[in-house]
A and B are shown apart, each in its own frame.
Chain A
Amino acid sequence: MAEEGRQENGRWPVIVRSALPRKLADFSIKVISSLSALLGIAILAWILFEVIKRGSAALNWSFFLHLPTPPNIEGGGLANAILGTSMITLLATLAGVPIGLLAGVYLAEFGQNTRLGSVVRFTSNVMMGIPSIIVGLFVYTLLVLPLHHFSGYAGAVSLAIIMLPIVARTTEDMLRLVPNSLRESALALGAPRWKATLGVVFRAAKTGLITGVLLAIARVSGETAPLLFTSLNSPFWPKSLSQPTANLTVTIFNYAMSPYSKWQEMAWGASLLIMVAVLALTVVARFVFKEAKK
């Protein structure tokens, strides 16, 4: 069989193929991938540039201090929406973070190898992938429909639900990084489990936990869909969170869809504000984590 291809002198023929086509293919792929990366950066720059350019044109003192005005009336601002978004996000953080932290403690400290632990871990991974608008629908059926009115509380609850699995999973990951010897030392000194966890393990994982919480806040503070039918929007000051509450993201949506150029301009201002807040939170979170690694 193998003798077929041999030459008369008993050797195998040496086939010399040009490497040029292979090198060309290699070169073109390299060019394409470098260009794609460049395109990615260019689009990021384009988005940032447009938001900053159009947004900064709308920002002035009145934007931060005054209530919105009807279309085509000069002046006015989104002070109520800024305040409302801060209140809703703060409340969501106060509700979502402690519960998420405790759930993360369960996953990392008590439920590592239990069936409940693995079920909850799987569920929270799945839950992170649920579209935020579905959470909005859920809270609508839970808090808006039975009470017959939209409210800031409902908005905060839906944001808290979105935060919950994020905080829980990052907490678990961060607590897992803490070496077991620390836990054992604390327990050996006679500390009860809760003290060992909250006083020793939490302290060791502090920066990681802060990073996780900051990223979760960054994630929800730009959310619009879950607020659309929970906190709705309002042109007034948020006097109480039990009423429809003004917020920046829904305002962006409403104003952008309106035909008035003044309102569209305000929407750009609000977009710039939200984008800066979210990016700043993200950058700070990463910086904190990096410092801790050192």
Chain B
Amino acid sequence: MTQKLNTVAKSIYEQQGREKNPRHSSNFQKKVDVFFHWLTALCAILMLVLMVAIFWQLVSHSWLAMQKFGFSFLTSQAWNPVTQEFGAASSIYGTLVSTGLALFLAIPSSLVIALFLVELAPPSVGKVVGYAIELLAAIPSIIYGMWGLFVFAPFMADHVQPVLGKYLGFLPLFQGPPMGIGMLTAGIILALMILPFITAVSRDIFQMVPPVVKESAYGLGSTTYEVTKKVTVNYGLQGLLGAAFLGLGRAIGETMAVTFVIGNDHAISASLFSAGNSIASTLANEFAEASEPLYLSSLMKLGLVLFVITILIQILAQLWLKRVGKRMGGGL
């Protein structure tokens, strides 16, 4: 049948004299199609190549530091470019503390804001507020950094930290002079940056809960809070966990906003008021000045640590969301 159709088509082509133009021959078009297929595949493969290349470059350039310090790099607190002693402990500690603080602040507040957007606000208000929060997510991190350094840090030093020190000063967390910049301010700025993101995902998840499930709970006499706590959150718990994971992934590698306000001190201190550093802030501050091979290599190794941590978080989050997406019957 197809054979016959082909011959008919060919005869029509020949009648029109189009076969003479080689660009219209089906053979030529087939070749272009194969080329097109391979071209797109090549572009897709380029991303795989890039990922492997990033890992490879980081490993090979941190080789010197690996030979010199080994795994004690991760636990050593030393950071002295003069004596060429390098350890990542304070940077890793600062990264974990600032990120933990950000998640601690951002997760509950984004949940209640999502609750407001989905359940409480009239649709028009919810739309406007949702839009504003999405804009908050689009603002580049360096703007948060500027605002954090020149506006928010003085505000913290004048109004927030003295109060915290006065009433919660018995805790080691809130001791020390109120300098404004430091771990606490960095954590709050980070929280502000990931808040819109987690809010947007949580809102989508809240909206995915079938209305009939919520209505049944309301029909039994539940209040809005009870419906949210026992029905909506339970229903979307796995998705919310994924959202928190993605927020974590964002916060942990955030560079500029943190660099502006964390104080950039290679020190581990119990107090959230004191200056510290994170992996990203150390890289941003010191990389361009590092001239000795070992210094550069140690910074590369810091980058490798950050890369491995974020890759692991991202892979876990993606696998998790894939599973949840299948179960809930909709992509996130």
Q: Does A241 contact B (CB under 8 A)?
A: no
Contact in complex: B57, A142 (CB < 8 Å)? yes
Docked complex Cα distance between A33 and B254 (Å): 27
Give chain B's interface secondary structure class: helix
Q: Which of A155-175 contact B (CB under 8 A)?
A: 161, 164-165, 168
Q: Does B171 contact A (CB under 8 A)?
A: no
With A40-B132, A40-B133, A282-B135 as known contacts, state yes or no: A138 contacts B318, CB within 8 Å: no
Contact in complex: A106, B43 (CB < 8 Å)? yes
Contact in complex: B50, A40 (CB < 8 Å)? no
Q: Which of B1-41 contact A (CB under 8 A)?
A: 29-30, 32-33, 36-37, 39-41
Q: Which of B40, B46, B135, B226 has the most CB of A within 10 A?
A: B40
Q: How far is the CB of B252 from chain A (nearest CB, A)?
A: 8
Q: Which of A34, A131, A225 has the most CB of B within 10 A?
A: A131
Number of interface residues of A (CB under 8 A): 85
Contact in complex: A131, B141 (CB < 8 Å)? no
Which listed segment binds B: A7-15, A62-70, A76-84, A108-116?
A108-116
Q: Does A211 contact B (CB under 8 A)?
A: no
Contact in complex: B32, A192 (CB < 8 Å)? yes
Q: Does B253 contact A (CB under 8 A)?
A: yes
Q: Does B113 contact A (CB under 8 A)?
A: yes
Which listed segment binds A: B65-73, B74-82, B172-180, B305-313?
B305-313
Which listed segment binds A: B85-93, B142-150, B207-215?
B142-150
B259 CB contacts on chain A under 8 angstroms: 253
Contact in complex: B113, A37 (CB < 8 Å)? yes
Contact in complex: A30, B226 (CB < 8 Å)? no
With A26-B224, A224-B256 as known contacts, state yes or no: A127 contacts B139, CB within 8 Å: no
Contact in complex: A50, B116 (CB < 8 Å)? no
B317 CB contacts on chain A under 8 angstroms: 129
A92 CB contacts on chain B under 8 angstroms: none
A192 CB contacts on chain B under 8 angstroms: 29-30, 32-33
Q: Which of B37, B115, B142 contacts A110 (CB 8 A)?
A: B37
Q: Which of A106, A127, A161 has the most CB of B within 10 A?
A: A106
Which listed segment binds B: A178-186, A202-210, A270-278?
A270-278
Q: Does A16 contact B (CB under 8 A)?
A: no
Q: Does B44 contact A (CB under 8 A)?
A: yes
Contact in complex: B120, A264 (CB < 8 Å)? no
Q: How large is the interface on B (under 10, 10 to 19, 20 to 34, 35 or more residues)?
A: 35 or more
Q: Which of A141, A279, A282 has the most CB of B within 10 A?
A: A141
Q: Does A90 contact B (CB under 8 A)?
A: no
Q: Does A87 contact B (CB under 8 A)?
A: no
Docked complex Cα distance between A193 and B154 (Å): 61
A267 CB contacts on chain B under 8 angstroms: 146
Docked complex Cα distance between A116 and B49 (Å): 13
Q: How far is the CB of A284 from chain B (nearest CB, A)?
A: 12
Docked complex Cα distance between A43 and B145 (Å): 14
Interface string of A44-59 (1 = CB under 8 A from B): 1011001100100000
Q: How far is the CB of B119 from chain A (nearest CB, A)?
A: 8
Q: How far is the CB of A143 from chain B (nearest CB, A)?
A: 11
Q: Which of B33, B39, B252 contacts A102 (CB 8 A)?
A: B39
Q: Does B64 contact A (CB under 8 A)?
A: no
Q: Which of A32, A122, A133, A142 contacts B112 (CB 8 A)?
A: A32
A122 CB contacts on chain B under 8 angstroms: 318
Subset of 22 A-B contacts with CB under 8 Å: A25-B223, A29-B112, A30-B120, A37-B112, A39-B109, A40-B133, A47-B136, A103-B43, A106-B41, A125-B318, A129-B310, A131-B252, A131-B307, A141-B58, A164-B46, A192-B30, A197-B36, A225-B256, A249-B142, A253-B142, A256-B149, A274-B142
The 5 closest A-B pairs by CB, nearest first: A131-B253, A222-B140, A26-B223, A106-B40, A194-B36
Give residues in A with beta carbon < 8 Å to B. 22-23, 25-26, 29-30, 32-34, 36-37, 39-41, 43-44, 46-47, 50-51, 54, 99-100, 102-103, 105-107, 109-111, 116-117, 119-120, 122-127, 129-135, 137-138, 140-142, 145, 161, 164-165, 168, 192-194, 197, 218, 221-225, 228-229, 232, 249, 252-253, 256, 264, 267-268, 271, 274-275, 278-279, 282-283
Given A47-B143, A134-B54, A193-B37, output 20 extra A-B contacts at Cβ < 8 Å.
Answer: A29-B225, A36-B113, A40-B196, A44-B135, A47-B136, A102-B44, A123-B48, A130-B311, A131-B255, A131-B306, A132-B255, A133-B303, A135-B54, A137-B300, A225-B256, A232-B288, A253-B256, A253-B259, A256-B150, A271-B142
